[in-house]
Amino acid sequence: MKFATINNGERDGQLVLVSRDLTRKTDISHLAPTMQYLLENWSDVTPKLESLYQQLNQEQIETSAFVPADVMAPLPRSYQWCDGSAFLNHGVLLQKAFDLPPQKDYDTIPLMYQGAADTLIGPEAPVCLPDESDDIDFEGEFAVFVDEVPMGCSPGQALSAIRLIGLVNDVSLRKYIGREMNSGFGFMHAKPSSGFAPVAVTPDELGDAWRDGKVCLPLHIEWNHQWFGEANGSEMDFSFPQLIVHAAYSRKLSAGTIIGSGTVSNVDSVKGSSCIAERRALDMLEYGEIRTGFMKFGDHIRMEAFNSGGESIFGAISQTIQQGGLSHE
């Protein structure tokens, strides 16, 4: 099944069921008014929704056009957004290029931070940031939306708690990352709100591209309408169940928690990159100097993942970077 949240003027929007080809939608507010409600009542609601989904795809019920510009993030605000760094190649490249010390136990304990979860950005909403000089970067990654997860869960429990999968633009302000990491307190300025693709989908929508708790699909990224990368999620070193186990070590995860994969990164650099920082690292390794700048106001980023038949799975993230913030109003 595929779900989206229509912007109806309310903070949590209105949940709709979206056809597999992303062209039609149907109202399901009588069963699940919001995404949070759906995730908290999954077992009770989804049997009825599965029947509706079949009817939707066969055009047997009343529908209307699905317009990505009309939607918010699938879950506009989450109790918790935990973003990992599950592709070790990404960190290794940055370490080599900029002579950084390796993170202790980086290959056995996943890195993870808690990001801004209260104002997640819709697929075509602008990304408003305070200053170009903050070294604005995008990060293409996959994410899962989970049901309630008990503290100290097993990998099997973690896998069975995954309800939906989505696509994320994890916006970063690189100017602050080093300072905030070195502080020992984690990210604040470095990690603004993240953007999400129009729909979140159940794992079965990926077919055999969902295996071993990983999204085994290329992530196509265009920056200012130029190809930037198509790294494949299959090279994830820590699977989503492993990330969930890590997040739930000392706490229960509430239904609606979102777990991110971190920047999708492949060893073969021919596949391109999923963030500017990695491209800059490749610049250093190949040319001995940085040739790629960060984003400017007015820049555009597009991210999308397709199945083997060329069909879009989550719809596209299509966002423009804009100046925003109280200091500029």
pLDDT over 80 at 326, yes or no: no
| Confidence class for position 328, pLDDT limits 50, 70, 90 | very low
Q: Contact 275/186 with Cβ under 8 angstroms?
A: no
pLDDT (tens digit, 9 = 90+) per residue, 97-120? 888 887 788 889 999 999 999 999
Map residue 19 onto helix, strand or coil. Answer: coil
pLDDT over 90 at 181, yes or no: no
pLDDT (tens digit, 9 = 90+) per residue, 164-174? 999 999 999 99
CB atoms within 10 A of CB 46: 17
- The model carries a pTM of 0.96
Q: Contact 200/74 with Cβ under 8 angstroms?
A: yes
Q: Contact 251/80 with Cβ under 8 angstroms?
A: no
pLDDT (tens digit, 9 = 90+) per residue, 303-313? 999 999 999 99
Domain ranges for the chain: 2-70, 81-328
What's the mean per-residue pLDDT of the chain? 95
Rounded Cα distance between 245 and 155, Å, is 6
Residues with Cβ within 8 Å of 258's Cβ and at least 6 positions away in sequence, in order, are 75, 78, 80, 81, 82, 117, 143, 144, 145, 146, 166
pLDDT (tens digit, 9 = 90+) per residue, 201-257? 999 999 999 999 999 999 999 999 999 999 999 999 999 999 999 999 999 999 999
CATH number for the segment(s) 81-328: 3.90.850.10
Rounded Cα distance between 306 and 262, Å, is 19
